[in-house]
Chain A
C-alpha cells in the first residue's frame, strides 16, 4: 500500500514539474518572438556580460538570504532538514563563484579608457576610490565563506544537529557571507545607477 502511495506521489511530482517546465518554455518563446526583449539589455557593447553578472548576483541574493534564515535556525537549535541545507549551501557557493567570475569579466570594460572608472576619477573620485574599491574586495570575501559553510554542512551532515559549536560556527559563516554580499551588492547597484559599463 505504501509502495503504491509513493509511486503515485512521485508520478504527481513528475507531472507537475514537467508541466511547469513546458509552460516556462512556451512563455519564454512567446515573450521572445512577440516583444523586443533585447532592448531590455540596453545598447551597451557589454550588455550581455552585465546582464549575466546581475542575474547571478540576483540568484546569490536569494541563496544568501535563505542562508541567513538557515543561520538563525542553526543558531537557535531549531530542527533542520540537513539535505535541504546541503543543497542550498552548494547552490549558494556556485552562485557566489559565478557572480565573482562574471564580475571579473565586467571589470575589464569598467577599467577601460572612457569607462566608468575614468568617468568617476574625473568627476566623482571618491565613488571609485572609496566605494568601488571597498566593494571589489569585500565581494571576494564571500567565496571562502560560502564554500566553507557548504563544506561544513556536507562534511558533518546529521552530526551538526547534536553539535552546538558546529551549528554556531556554520551560522556565523552564513551570516558573514550575507553581510559581505549585501555590502558588495548594495554598493554595486548604487554605483551602476550612477554610471554603468
Chain B
C-alpha cells in the first residue's frame, strides 16, 4: 500500500485516519443495531462465527469486531486508492475524524445505546 504514494501530499494520511474513524464508528453503529433488532444481532453473531476461533463463546462481540475490521480495512483500501496522489483540506478531515470518533464513543456508552435501543 505504501508504493506509488505522493508523500508530498497528505492524501495517504487522510485515507488512513478516515478509515480508522469509520472502523470505530462501525463498532458503535453495529452495536446499536444489535440492541434494536434481534435478527440483526443473530446475523452479526453468525458473521463472527464464520471465521473467528472461539466466537461461540463471546457472542455477538465477535461479529462486531469482524464488521469493524472489514469496514476499517476495506475503507482504508478504497480511500487510499482515491487519495494517495491528492489531498483534501486537512482541517476538514481532522474535524470529520474527531466528530466520528466522538459519535462512536457516544454510541458505545451503554446508557445511550440502551436508551436508543428502547431498553430500560
Contact = CB atoms under 8 A, between A and B. Distances in A.
A69 interface: no
A151 B54 CA distance: 30
A165 B10 contact: yes
B17 A148 contact: yes
A164 to B, nearest CB: 10
A138 B57 contact: no
B105 A152 contact: no
Contact of B24 (A112, A134, A144, A172): A144
Interface string B3-34: 00101101011001101100110011001000
Give the bracket for the number of chain B residues in contact with chain A.
Answer: 35 or more
Interface in B74-120: 90, 94, 97-98, 101, 104-105, 108-111, 114
Contacts of A147: 20
Nearest to A130: B110
B57 A112 contact: yes
Contacts of B20: 144-145, 147-148, 173
A140 B90 contact: no
Contacts of A52: none
Contacts of B7: 155-156, 159
B54 to A, nearest CB: 6
Contacts, number: 86
Interface in A122-158: 129-130, 133-134, 136-138, 140-141, 144-145, 147-148, 151-152, 154-156
| Best-buried of A104, A108, A129 by chain B (most CB within 10 Å) | A104
A32 to B, nearest CB: 30
B103 to A, nearest CB: 12
B68 A140 contact: yes
Interface of B: 2, 5, 7-8, 10, 12-13, 16-17, 19-20, 23-24, 27-28, 31, 52, 54, 57-59, 61-62, 64-65, 68, 72, 90, 94, 97-98, 101, 104-105, 108-111, 114
Q: Which 9 pairs show the lowest CB-CB distances between chains A and B?
A: A108-B57, A144-B20, A137-B108, A148-B20, A144-B23, A165-B90, A130-B110, A107-B58, A148-B16
